[in-house]
């Protein structure tokens, strides 16, 4: 059955940059050809000739109190501001309309601001309250969802310079599958010292405003935020919304070439543009304008120009321009800001100029619309962005609602054909599962501090940070943590599940230890395992495999080294560490190592981001966008400061008892941290049958919803959070066309804190109490430690093994369960499981429900 792709329109917009504080101001600034790139107020004292496009104007945040503003970072505040404007602009005032609205935010440097005082050794300015509320990479999406009362599920995309463009593509797909009637897409990017220092010392920046494709090469960095509300066309018409344009298609790709430099042959850029047009069902002749990435660097401008020449035989007649000449390179928010600029001007038949244009550079010989607007009626245009690591994105859009042929696709069934695992129990899926079924589940368990001397050194560091100083706190901080708790954390030693005795060279064909860090090594090992399990080798066909990874805290080891090198002289920062400190560095390492060149995205939504990546990968296959996708997550043990604060807040246990991680126990006191990776190889079900490979399981449906309790710090009622998880479960049932009576097993992924235990079990009870009340309930996080990004993936892998063996493992270590109305599995249970439900949540209130059907193995 062929399905016609839904038409997705833009019904709201928001903007913030150095040249404007709202949409109306931005439109006028564009027409006034206002360049916001000037000598930097913030960074000229550190860097000679530093210029930037900075937000220096006074800002207001309608609907927020001063107390809220104090504890939010600019990434969240700016995202809220433009999101609020887009919803107001889109006339989505009724809270009921936001229950089924999705939120996807793209950002590169989230969670940084709270720790800037430590990075700059201004310890007295550190605020524990700000770090707890806004100090995680994923907090931005949780904050905005809660403040704007959006409940249709959220994600955070972290692919650096393509982040917001990537976010738009994911939102587009969610509408295609009826997950959301509309999605709010935001890009937000404050300019912090680590980012500025990284680009400056790479010698990528220009001391005067950038002039893309002309004159002296070099980029100008910028900050800002943008938002667009996208909506199913019929839904928009029904509610009388104003339509500002149409999103027609998108695509992503990976170069698999280099950590920072674009492929000089522009292979990935060519691939992504062709794929976007293929998805739209159009040809190069249908594109009448290209809004280029156009950073101004010699490498980008030359490679991008070559790519356009390869794709468009008629490129000489197509105007091309770079909006970065107005507002600089806005990194994570660049794509959305530039798309909004196109929609505002092209609707009035005005084609944006490339400002500051002088003499074209060698091999840059296109119509770059130099300095002045050009007249032209553009029916369809292309918006391109490229990022470190070779992540490429292309959007096809129109400033009008066209009378055109709509592309179609054949919905695919989605199979899991490969599994790769790394954990404290072993270095591969087979070993780990064998140990579990043999009862050999004694994981390697080590303290976070290696000895007493290291503990004393760390205590002195904490004193310098003055993390206990109440003058920087508030009632929330005082209630959430105390000096006594913090001291107990140090004295008690925080133990963690660890990966040990690992020699990657035994498993990997290509492994460069100079570029490898723990998290990337774990991810690559699991990726290659999943490919081997799926009997898939890449032979110059890497474009047919996508790589979608989910991160929680990301590459902590290299981030710590990079940040430590900033003080005392940021001009001497370790440039080799900068690109590897980005969230998408792990995917970059894997794609380069294995030649994976298909759809490429990194989610950084926090706990269980790997499950969010799984849902996106499912859509890519279901919608015939990619035949095979590798997906999941990886984690390494984070920095001691992070572990310390997590312990003090009660999420992480301080104990040396290997059996203390007791999920659903009446005495449950939180989790024990783990490290490792969980990766699944997904593909079109029929494609797997044609390849004659075993199908481990089939994903038959999923659901996603979020609660808005992020600021309800003292929440004790699990029903507030269980409502969203219940919605996600029923959404999965609807997609799979089944009901509760057909499910044979439920697996939770709670990490063991009281609230998470209670709301997860409340949702299970709500769904199954009337039908199938004796369904077995399990949770296997205790075996592995809580591997933040992929605990749900490890549970899925264990459920697949249960389906194969016909025996359900018991929940480990728990002695006295908090409920007596659910059938917890406490002893090995012989049972054939055909359909299983796996649940997972992020720390910010995003909830996933995945339905698995037994494959043809076992």
Averaged over successive runs of 10 residues, the pLDDT of the chain (858 residues) comes to 93 98 98 98 93 97 92 96 97 89 95 87 81 90 97 97 97 93 96 93 92 97 98 95 97 89 90 97 97 96 97 97 98 98 98 98 96 98 93 97 91 98 96 95 78 74 61 52 62 80 85 83 97 95 97 91 91 88 93 95 97 98 97 91 72 80 90 95 97 98 96 73 96 98 98 92 97 96 95 98 98 95 97 98 96 93
User: Is there a contact between 579 and 331 (Cβ–Cβ < 8 Å)?
Assistant: no
| pLDDT at residue number 720 | 84
Catalytic residue status for 329: yes
Distance CA 420, CA 677 (A): 8
pLDDT of amino acid 7: 97
Considering Cα of 368, then 246, then 616, then 536, what sign does the dihedral take?
negative
Q: In Å, what is the CA distance from 433 to each residue of 614, 657, 749, 832? A: 21, 23, 18, 18
Q: How many CA atoms lie within 13 A of 760 on its CB side?
A: 30
| DSSP class of 406 | P
Which of 15, 235, 293, 533 is labelled catalytic? Answer: 293
CA 339 to chain centre: 20
pLDDT score for 296: 96
Active site residue 293: yes
Distance CA 800, CA 795 (A): 9
Q: Rg of the chain over CA atoms, in angstroms?
A: 25
* Closest by CA position to 693, among listed 535, 460, 525: 535
Using DSSP's 3-state secondary structure scheme, residue 549 falls into: strand
What one-character DSSP code corresponds to residue 543? Answer: G
Helix axes 556-564, 193-201, angle to 10 degrees: 80
CB 278 within 8 A of CB 409: no
Q: Which residues contact 398 (CB under 8 A, 6 or more apart)?
A: 245, 246, 248, 378, 379, 380, 381
Catalytic residue among 329, 427, 533, 751: 329
| Cα three-residue angle 201-207-208, rounded to 5 degrees | 150
148 within 8 A of 63, measured Cβ to Cβ: no
Tokens of 715: 């929440």
d(CA 63, CA 479): 25
pLDDT of res. 476: 52
> How confident is the model at residue 478, as a pLDDT?
55
The answer for residues whose C-beta is within 8 angstroms of residue 78's C-beta and 6 or more apart is 16, 55, 188, 190, 224, 225
Catalytic residue, candidates 15, 35, 140, 161: 161
Q: Which helix (H) or strand (E) holds 526?
A: helix 518-533
Whether 687 is catalytic: no
pLDDT of residue 483: 62
């Amino acid at each position: 059955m062929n399905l016609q792709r839904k038409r997705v329109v833009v019904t709201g917009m928001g903007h913030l940059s150095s040249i404007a504080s709202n949409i109306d101001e931005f439109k006028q600034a564009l027409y006034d050809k206002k360049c916001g790139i000037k000598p930097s107020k913030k960074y000229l004292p550190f860097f000679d000739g530093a210029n930037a496009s900075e937000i220096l104007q006074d800002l207001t945040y309608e609907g927020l109190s001063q107390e809220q503003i104090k504890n939010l970072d600019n990434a969240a505040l700016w995202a809220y501001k433009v999101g609020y404007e887009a919803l107001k602009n889109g006339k989505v005032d009724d809270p009921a309309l936001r229950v089924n609205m999705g939120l996807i935010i793209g950002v590169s440097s989230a969670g940084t601001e709270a720790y800037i005082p430590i990075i700059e050794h201004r310890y007295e300015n550190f605020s524990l309250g700000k770090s707890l509320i806004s100090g995680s990479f994923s907090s931005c999406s949780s904050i905005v969802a809660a403040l704007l009362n959006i409940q249709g599920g959220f994600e955070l995309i972290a692919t650096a310079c393509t982040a917001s463009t990537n976010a738009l593509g994911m939102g587009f797909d969610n509408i295609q599958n009826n997950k959301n009637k509309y999605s709010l897409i935001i890009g937000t990017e404050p300019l912090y010292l680590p980012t500025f220092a990284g680009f400056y010392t790479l010698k990528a920046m220009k001391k005067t405003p950038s002039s893309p494709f002309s004159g002296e090469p070099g980029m100008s960095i910028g900050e800002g935020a943008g938002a667009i509300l996208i909506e199913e066309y019929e839904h928009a018409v029904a509610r009388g919304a104003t339509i500002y344009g149409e999103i027609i298609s998108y695509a992503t790709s990976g170069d698999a070439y280099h950590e920072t430099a674009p492929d000089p042959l522009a292979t990935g850029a060519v691939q992504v543009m062709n794929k976007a047009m293929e998805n739209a069902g159009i040809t190069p002749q249908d594109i009448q304008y290209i809004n280029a990435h156009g950073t101004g660097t010699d490498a980008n401008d030359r490679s991008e120009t070559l790519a356009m020449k390869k794709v468009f035989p008629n490129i000489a007649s197509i105007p091309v321009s770079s909006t970065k000449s107005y507002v600089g390179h806005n990194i994570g928010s660049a794509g959305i800001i530039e798309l909004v600029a196109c929609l505002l001007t092209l609707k009035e038949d005005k084609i944006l100029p490339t400002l500051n244009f002088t003499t074209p550079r060698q091999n840059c010989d296109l119509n770059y619309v130099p300095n002045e607007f050009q007249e032209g009626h553009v029916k369809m245009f292309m918006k391109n962005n490229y990022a470190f690591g070779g992540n490429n994105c292309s959007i096809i859009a129109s400033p009008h609602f066209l009378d055109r042929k709509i592309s179609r696709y054949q919905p695919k069934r989605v199979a899991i054909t490969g599994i790769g695992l790394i954990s404290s129990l072993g270095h591969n899926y087979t070993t780990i599962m064998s140990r579990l079924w043999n009862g050999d589940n004694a994981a390697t368990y080590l303290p976070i501090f290696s000895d007493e001397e290291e503990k004393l050194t760390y205590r002195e560091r904490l004193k310098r940070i003055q993390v206990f100083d109440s003058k920087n706190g508030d009632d929330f901080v005082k209630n959430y943590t105390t000096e006594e708790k913090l001291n107990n954390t140090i004295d008690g030693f925080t133990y963690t599940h660890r990966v040990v005795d690992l020699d990657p060279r035994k498993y990997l064909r290509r492994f460069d230890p100079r570029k490898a860090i723990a998290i990337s090594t774990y991810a690559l090992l699991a990726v290659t395992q999943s490919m081997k399990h799926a009997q898939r080798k890449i032979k110059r066909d890497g474009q047919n495999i996508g790589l979608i990874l989910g991160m929680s805290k990301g590459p902590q080891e290299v981030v710590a080294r990079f940040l430590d090198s900033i003080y005392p002289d940021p001009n001497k920062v370790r440039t080799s560490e900068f690109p590897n400190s980005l969230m998408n560095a792990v995917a970059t390492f894997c794609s380069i190592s294995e030649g994976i060149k298909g759809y490429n995205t990194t989610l950084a939504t926090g706990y269980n981001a790997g499950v969010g990546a799984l849902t996106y990968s499912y859509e890519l296959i279901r919608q015939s966008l990619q035949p095979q996708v590798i997906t999941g997550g990886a984690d390494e043990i984070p920095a001691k400061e992070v572990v310390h604060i997590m312990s003090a807040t009660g999420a992480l246990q301080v104990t040396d008892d290997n059996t203390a991680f007791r999920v659903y126990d009446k005495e449950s006191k939180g989790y024990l941290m783990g490290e490792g990776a969980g990766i699944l190889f997904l593909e079109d079900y029929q494609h797997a049958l044609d390849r004659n490979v075993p199908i481990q399981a089939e994903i038959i449906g999923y659901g996603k919803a979020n609660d808005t309790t992020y600021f309800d710090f003292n929440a004790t009622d699990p029903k507030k959070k269980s409502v969203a998880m219940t919605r996600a479960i029923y959404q999965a049932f609807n997609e799979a066309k089944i009901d509760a009576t057909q499910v044979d097993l439920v697996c939770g992924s709670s990490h063991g804190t009281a609230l998470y235990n209670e709301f997860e079990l409340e949702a299970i009870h709500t769904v199954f109490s009337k039908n199938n009340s004796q369904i077995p309930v399990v949770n296997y996080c205790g075996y592995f430690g809580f591997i933040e990004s992929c605990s749900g993936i490890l549970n899925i892998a264990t459920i697949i093994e249960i389906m194969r063996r016909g025996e359900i493992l018991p929940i480990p270590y728990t002695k006295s369960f908090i409920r007596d109305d659910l059938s917890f599995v406490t002893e090995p249970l012989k049972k054939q499981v055909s359909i299983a439900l796996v649940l997972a949540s992020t720390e910010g209130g995003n909830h996933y429900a995945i339905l698995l059907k037994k494959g043809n193995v076992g």
